[in-house]
Amino acid sequence: MAYTTIDNPTAYFDITLWSTQDTSIDTLNFQPDWVWLKSRSNADTHVAFDSVRGVNKRLSPSETSQESTTSDELTAFNSDGFTLGTGDNVNRASQTMVAWSWLSGGSASSNSDGSITSSVSANTTAGFSIVSYTGTGSNATVGHGLGVKPDWIINKTRDTTAQMWSVYHSSRGATKHLGLDRSNAEDTGSAYYQDTEPTSSVFSVGSEAATNYSSAALIAYCFAEKKGYSKFGSYTGNGNADGSFVYTGFKPAWLMIKRTDSGDGWLMIDNKRVGFNGGNNVLEADVNSAEDSGVADRQDILSNGFKLRSNWTKINASGGTYVYMAFAESPFVNSNGIPTNAR
């Protein structure tokens, strides 16, 4: 059994739904540091805001565009949520919306662990940090503040156009990378992460613009696995309706799944948009499409993981390789060793 260090996952990560231009989102148990928003009912871009770059600084995870300054989208981070304007990307009239929010460490501090001095907002309890740094265009290291090796790193340039969102995943290793804004299969290239695994203090970047554009401002979102709260793993599909069971050690509230050996998109699944079994309504991080609810029983969300129930190639192609990122609704066993009610 997996014993958790976090009995209440919603103190660090949560999902919010709203509709019809609700400007005050006040249902969180924390003041978020990273908020990712998407229209469920309309083909609007994904948008993301964080406390390190500033509340009105927007990046679009589904696009390569550079950071833009907005006045009518996310306007404040609050102690119990956030405040929205009426911009179409976050609050279009007569549409339904979703936001996924994470807590890092509030205000950023200078970090000199790497050859590049970074600004870091880190939450070591939850295993999440936001890292701002300036690229050098050549091999370098960047401090991340987690105190343990990150399992998932997302890098993005802020002030240059047409640069992908680069993704490192520990199960694939630093010789591989994925693009969050595209469906492509994983690629091999030492210029992204120097073929060097991150350490408990730094991650490595090479000469690739997506992770280390010379003189450009960059942002990185770093995640380290926390037993009973988060899981960053991989699995191989078997191509039938009795698919693999993937153990996480908790009932997932949120899943993101990506096939790595072929060009399939980044599936985003959560427990709020459907309810009991959130596996049947999906959004995709790399496209702006509205929510897809057309196929039932693709996967089951269970008390200690998820079970694949389809031969849909985006989650369960025969021999297909997949990575996933999961956060807990409830741990399977709490910090005192007592089974929870998540069944």
Print pLDDT tens along the chain (343 aa). Answer: 446 679 999 999 999 999 878 889 999 999 999 999 999 999 999 999 999 999 999 999 999 999 999 999 999 999 999 999 989 899 888 889 999 999 999 999 999 999 999 999 999 999 999 999 999 999 999 999 999 999 999 999 999 878 999 999 999 999 999 999 999 999 999 999 999 999 999 999 999 999 999 999 999 999 999 999 999 999 999 999 899 999 999 999 999 999 999 999 999 999 888 755 555 688 999 999 999 876 666 888 899 999 998 899 999 999 999 999 999 998 766 665 555 654 4
pLDDT of the residue at 9: 96
313 burial (CB, 10 Å; 0-12 / 13-18 / 19+) is: middle
pLDDT of the residue at 343: 42
Domain ranges in the chain are 9-102, 126-180+187-223, 230-331
pLDDT of the residue at 342: 47
- Which one, of 254, 316, 240, lies nearest residue 282 by Cα? 254
